[in-house]
Amino acid sequence: MPDPKGTIGILTGGGDVPGLNPAIRAITIRALREGYRVLGIRRGWAGLVDLIPDRNADNSENVQELTEPVVNRAGRTGGTFLHTSRTNPSTLPGQLLPEHLVGRYSGEVVDVTDSVLAHLDFLGIDALIPIGGDDTLSYAGRLHREGVPVVAIPKTMDNDVPGTDYCIGFSTCVTRTIELTHRLRTTAGSHERFLVIEVFGRYAGFTALLPTMAGAAHRCVIPEHPFDLDHLAELLVYDRNRHPSRYSVVLVSEGARIEGQDEFSFEGGEADMYGHRKLGGMGDRVASALKEVSPRFNDGRRINVVNQRLGYLVRSGDPDAMDSIVPMAFGNLALDLILKGITGRLVSVHRGVYDSVPLERVAGSQKGVDVERFYNTDRLRPRYTSFDELPVFIMTGDR
């Protein structure tokens, strides 16, 4: 077998979504057929932190050579067989230093980027393809500035990575949200209740707004615009009383904020290495409040609530068609750039066309719903305007 042209590394970071394994498969098969060796970095950036740069060391927990049989088995499944983490090598807690780095760094939080660079060199990585959201890709930008050839692929259910209209995982998330919301309608209708469903979306409300536009819910509240609880209750009572089965539905983004209360709703106090505390509980707060205030708008009678957090149900399992096709295209786009010697790019979709943008775009802005254009803040629902020349997912275009 001839010597490889070079070595390409792949890693997945942050939350899992359907579509990661198809992306890994596409990159690997194309790279192998172009004559490259492919290494999978396990557990995101953690694999490069924990790697022991010794030929005699067992690094099977940190790196895996990828072959066609390996990726073909995984390519039709959800999740990531390379595993993932929220490790940030630039802000690594000192107590998480692997044994071989203890003594080299000191402090409660340390930046081990120089070790990551040395470990990439030890592996002989000629180009690195990280797949992740803005946190994972922000560190990819750091490595690019340090001289590492990087081509990145956007992944996040929230679809909030700047520079692209589409991120891997979004379509499956929206598909599952619509499907599960419709399933829960039977219970809400049987008991004549409000149906409150909490969906993902820390800073961007696409996963609440788009299913609502598709008819899954009557109303939605999103991170981009604080909402008034009394007004939401009034609208839901109106919707319920007009419905033949006497129920109404609201989708609540996990990052939604109640008017006059700037804080998010958190599950706990511990933050990850990117400074994010885990969100959760806004649906519970809304459900509890709706029961209390509903009598004001319903002739003094309280309306009970079916309250459900979709959570991991929308990010687990197999990818839908879109999240099988787009990762394949993104993987090949990444290889196209590498073969041309072009790095420091984020592969992207813009107005329905595959493209790439500078990786710096990820750190340069925040992507969210254009409220004025797509969200009716008085009616707490999508704004239906002209659809001419809009992207497939309507409000997800990155201008």
The pLDDT tens digits for 300-330 are: 999 999 999 999 999 999 999 999 999 999 9
The alpha carbon of residue 280 and the mean position of all alpha carbons in its chain are separated, in whole angstroms, by 15
Q: Are residues 151 and 178 in the same domain?
A: no
Count of structural domains, the chain: 2
pLDDT of 374 above 70: yes
Q: Does 1 fall in a domain?
A: no
151 and 224 housed in the same domain:
no
- What does the alpha-carbon distance between residue 152 and residue 177 come to, in Å, rounded to a whole number? 27
pLDDT (average), residues 346-356: 93
pLDDT in tens, 170-185: 999 999 999 999 999 9
Pairing of strands 92-93, 109-110: antiparallel
Angle between helices 322-339 and 170-191 (to 10 degrees): 160
With 0-12 CB in 10 A as exposed, 13-18 as middle and 19+ as buried, what is 1? exposed
What does the pLDDT read at residue 270?
A: 64
Q: Are residues 136 and 200 in the same domain?
A: no
CATH no. for residue 296? Answer: 3.40.50.460
Question: Domain check: are 265 and 239 in the same one?
Answer: yes
Q: What is the pLDDT of residues 7-54, one digit of tens each?
A: 999 999 999 999 999 999 999 999 999 999 999 999 999 999 999 999
pLDDT score for 64: 97
Same domain, 183 and 217: yes
37 inside domain:
yes
Mean pLDDT of 80-91: 95
- Do both 258 and 304 map to the same domain? yes
Q: Do residue 186 and residue 56 come from a single domain?
A: no
Where does 7-77 show beta strands of DSSP type E? 7-12, 37-41, 63-65
Q: Residue 61: inside a domain, yes or no?
A: yes
pLDDT at 84 (0 to 100): 96
pTM for the full model?
0.93
285 and 326 together in one domain: no
Domain with 69, as residue range(s), is 7-168+318-364
φ/ψ of residue 131, rounded to 5: -120, 120
Q: Is 276 within a domain?
A: yes
Question: What's the pLDDT tens digit per position in 235-278?
Answer: 999 999 999 999 999 999 999 999 987 665 555 556 655 555 55
160 has pLDDT over 80: yes
Give pLDDT, residue 399.
Answer: 57
For residues 158 and 31, membership in a common domain is answered with yes
Burial of 255 (0-12, 13-18, 19+ CB in 10 A): buried
Are residues 13 and 56 both part of a single domain?
A: yes
Residue 49 domain flag: yes
On whether residue 236 sits in a domain, the answer given is yes
Task: Answer yes or no: is pLDDT of 89 > 90.
Answer: yes
Checking if the pLDDT of 280 tops 90, the result is: no
Q: Specify the pLDDT at position 302.
A: 96
CA distance 332 to 132: 17
Q: Is there a contact between 195 and 185 (Cβ–Cβ < 8 Å)?
A: yes
Provide the residue type at 247 as one letter.
Answer: Y
135 vs 345: which has the higher pLDDT: 345
Q: In which band, very low, low, confident or very high, does the pLDDT at 105 lie, cut at 50, 70 and 90?
A: very high
* Contact (Cβ atoms closer than 8 angstroms) between residue 258 and residue 214: no
Kindly state whether residue 399 falls inside one of the protein's structural domains.
Answer: no
For residues 144 and 67, membership in a common domain is answered with yes
Lowest mean pLDDT among 84-98, 163-177, 359-373: 359-373
- Indicate if 231 and 296 belong to the same structural domain: yes
Out of 158, 160, 165, 239, the active site residue is 158
Mean pLDDT for the stretch of residues 98-125 = 95
The pLDDT assigned to 365 comes to: 76
**Domain contains 390:** no
158 is catalytic: yes
* Residue 274 falls in which region: left (phi positive, over 0), alpha (psi -120 to 50) or beta: alpha
